[in-house]
Amino acid sequence: MSDRIILALVVVLGVPAALVGYLALIEWLVRGVSNHWRPRLRPWLWLLPVLAFLGVYLVYPSLKTIYLSFLDASSQKFVGLDNYRYIFTDRTNLISLRNNVLWVIFFTGAVVTFGLLIAVLTDRVRYESLARGVVFLPMAVSFVAAGVIWRFMYDYRPPSLPQTGTVNALLGAVVPGFTPHAWLIQRPLNTFAIIGASVWMWTGFAAVILAAALKGVPADVLEAARVDGAGEWQVFWRIIFPLLGTTIAVVTTTVVIIALKAFDIVYVMTNGNYDTDVIANRMYKEMFNFRNFGRASAIAVILLCAIVPVMLYNLRSFRTQEATR
C-alpha cells in the first residue's frame, strides 16, 4: 500500500513538475536560436507534448480502429467491407440504428425544449437558483445509478399484486381503471421509457447553459420591445429565441452527440433486450462479449462518422457564439 501512495505522489507532483521542467528547458534552448527562427519555433515546442499525447491517445487509436474495421474478428485476415455489410443487414444492428435515430429526435427534442422552458420560467422567479438546482441535481447522479433508480421506478408486477414500481403505483392510484404496464418490456413503449429517464438526467444540463445565455440578453432590448407593445409571447419568439440561437445550436448538437453515444442507461435498464438496443451497446457486446474486434471497430467507425459532422458544427457554432459575445 505504501508504494502505491508513493506512486500516486510521483504522478500527482511529478507530471506537472516534468511539464514545467520541459517548458523551462525549451525556453532555455530557444534562447540560443536566432531572432528570425525563435518565434516560429517556440509555439511548436510548446505544443509538442500535447500533440504527442493527442497522437498517441487519439489519432493513432482512431486510425488503428479504422484499419481493424476491415479485418476479421481476430484481426488477422482482411475482409473488406464485410463488417460494415453485416452491421447494415443484421436485424439486431438495424434496430439499434433505428433506436439511435429515435434517440436523436426525441431525446434531443425533449431535452432542449424542457431545458429552454425551465430556463425561461425559472428566470422570472425569486427562488431561481433553488429551482434550477433541483432540475440540475440528476446530473450529479451517476448514469448507472440513475439507470438502477429508473428500473425501480418502472418496476412491473402483475395486476393481482400490489405495485412496487413508482410509476405504476402512481398511475394506478390516480387514473381509474389503470392496468400496470411493463414499461421496459412492451415495445415500442420501452425505448421511450428509457429516453424519458435520460431526459430526466440531461434536462438540467441544457437548462443551466440556456439560463446563462438568457442572462446575456440585453434588458434594454426587452424593455424597448415591451414599450412598443409586444406581448410576452412575441417577446419570446421575436427577441429572446433569436438571440439565444447560437447557444441553442450548441446545446442541441451537444445533446445529439450524447444521444448517439447513449450506452450506460440502456445497458443497465434492459441491456438492449426487447428491441431497445443502441449502437454503443452493440459495440460493447461485439468487443467485450464476443471479442469480435472487426465488427466492434466497424461500429466505432460508424459512430465516429455520425458524430464528427455534428461535432464540427458544434465547434463552429461555439466559435460564433464566443465571437458575438
Grid cell of 2 as nine digits? 505504501
Quick one: which of 26, 45, 117, 257 contacts other proteins (CB under 8 A)?
257
- Dihedrals phi, psi of 78, to nearest 5 degrees: -75, 130
The region of 31-39, 192-200, 212-220, 285-293 touching other proteins under the rule CB under 8 A is 285-293
Q: Does 164 bind other proteins (CB under 8 A)?
A: no
The reply on whether position 13 binds other proteins by CB under 8 A is: no
Q: Which of 22, 46, 136, 156 binds other proteins (CB under 8 A)?
A: 156
Separation of alpha carbons 318 and 306, rounded Å: 19
Number of residues located near other proteins, criterion CB under 8 A: 68
Nearer CB in complex with other proteins: 135/258: 258
Euclidean distance between CA atoms 191 and 184, whole angstroms: 8
Contact residue for other proteins among 169, 171, 189, 311 (CB under 8 A): 311
3-state secondary structure 54-102: HHHHHHHHHHHHHHHCCECCCCCCECCCHHHHHHCCCHHHHHHHHHHHH
Per rule CB under 8 A, is residue 11 in the interface with other proteins?
Answer: yes
Q: In whole angstroms, what separates CA 64 from the centre of its chain?
A: 24
> Considering only residues 85-144, where is the footprint of other proteins by CB under 8 A?
90-92, 143-144
Closer Cβ to other proteins, 37 or 57, answer by number: 57
The yes or no reply on residue 287 touching other proteins (CB under 8 A) is: yes
Q: What are the grid coordinates assigned to 120, written together?
A: 425561461
> Under a CB-based contact definition with an 8 Å cutoff, are residues 116 and 217 in contact?
no
* Residue 114 CA: distances (Å) to CA of 202, 261, 318: 10, 21, 21
What residues from 38 to 77 belong to the interface with other proteins (CB under 8 A)?
50, 53-54, 57-58, 60-62, 64-65, 68, 72-76
Among 32, 219, 289, 325, binds other proteins (CB under 8 A): 289
Question: From the centroid of its chain, how far is CA 205?
Answer: 10
Determine contact, residues 210/119, Cβ cutoff 8 Å.
yes
The residue count of the chain comes to 325
- Which residues in this chain contact other proteins in the complex, by CB under 8 A? 1, 3-4, 7, 11, 15, 50, 53-54, 57-58, 60-62, 64-65, 68, 72-76, 90-92, 143-144, 155-158, 160-161, 182, 184-186, 254, 257-258, 261, 263-264, 267-268, 271, 273-274, 280, 283-285, 287-293, 296-297, 300, 304, 307, 311, 314-315, 318
